[in-house]
Amino acid sequence: MILDYKGTPVFYSDEGTGQVIVLLHGFLENSSMWSDLKGHLIENDYRVICMDLLGHGQTGCLGYIHTMEAMAEVVKAVLDTLQIERCKIIGHSMGGYVALALADLYPKLIESLCLMNSTALADDEEKKQNRDRAIAAVKENYKMFIRLSISNLFASKNRERLKHQIVSVREEALKTPLQGIIAALEGMKVRPDRTKVLKTGVYQKSMIIGRKDPVLDYEKTRTSVQGLDVKITEFPDGHMSHIENKKELTYKILHIIEK
């Protein structure tokens, strides 16, 4: 389905019946990343909402920068269209940043929040510089940037074992327009620290993290939620838990959202 949002097409899907779960994809991904998990959730009597975030998949761009707040407002517009007032939300990587922004802006909307290979921390100076380097790299050689970026999301030990899956992820990533990539990088770079959302949220909060995540520092991610009411699930692999730990992830997600 397509929603017209400020003159920009926003693609979303709405399948199943029961409690509402919203799935938000990460950077260089689109809603197709959820195909396996979505099927399991629908089989377990959940209503699953997926969407392509700004500048990704079949959703258009809105200007030079897509802040996490702007993306969150698009998610809210889709939920308003569907007349959804409460939902469980799972965000992968950048989708987790959007989920946090949504929870910050509309806390009463959130029934539970799961950050999957994501963090509430803002970019530090080194990470911001890396974002700028990434923007320069994508402007110089779009396809090379995507090839390198996708491989680097997986734990090094899994890159040969999962080479066919990596090719599939790369093919989907290549559908992301240049402007969508740049706008997301700019938006992630300026996002604020939202640890307060995890501190003050009165709903269930959980995180799924990979010990060998090449993107997020494992120790820093764990330390950031120490002492907070956040349930942590750990996997031994990288940033792509839905591929690297697919079977275990499905089981854990079903366990998390049933509570």
Check residue 259 and give its pLDDT. Answer: 66
Closest CA to 104 of 72, 66, 65, 67: 72
Residue type at 1? M
Helix (H) or strand (E) holding 220: helix 218-224
Q: How many domains does the chain have?
A: 1
Domain range for 122 is: 2-258
DSSP class of residue 63 equals S
Q: Block means of pLDDT (10 residues each) for the chain, length 259 residues?
A: 98 98 98 97 97 98 97 98 98 98 98 98 97 97 94 96 97 97 98 98 97 96 96 97 96 89
Closest CA to 66 of 151, 177, 155: 177
Closest CA to 7 of 77, 97, 96: 77
Check residue 258 and give its pLDDT. Answer: 84
CATH number of the domain encompassing residue 246:
3.40.50.1820
Classified as helix, coil or strand, 87 is strand
Check residue 204 and give its pLDDT. Answer: 96
Classified as helix, coil or strand, 28 is coil
3-state secondary structure 89-130: EEEECHHHHHHHHHHHHCHHHEEEEEEECCCCCCCCHHHHHH
Closest CA to 21 of 93, 73, 71, 95: 95
Give the span between the Cα atoms of 99 and 106, in whole angstroms: 10
Closest CA to 242 of 133, 156, 171, 169: 169
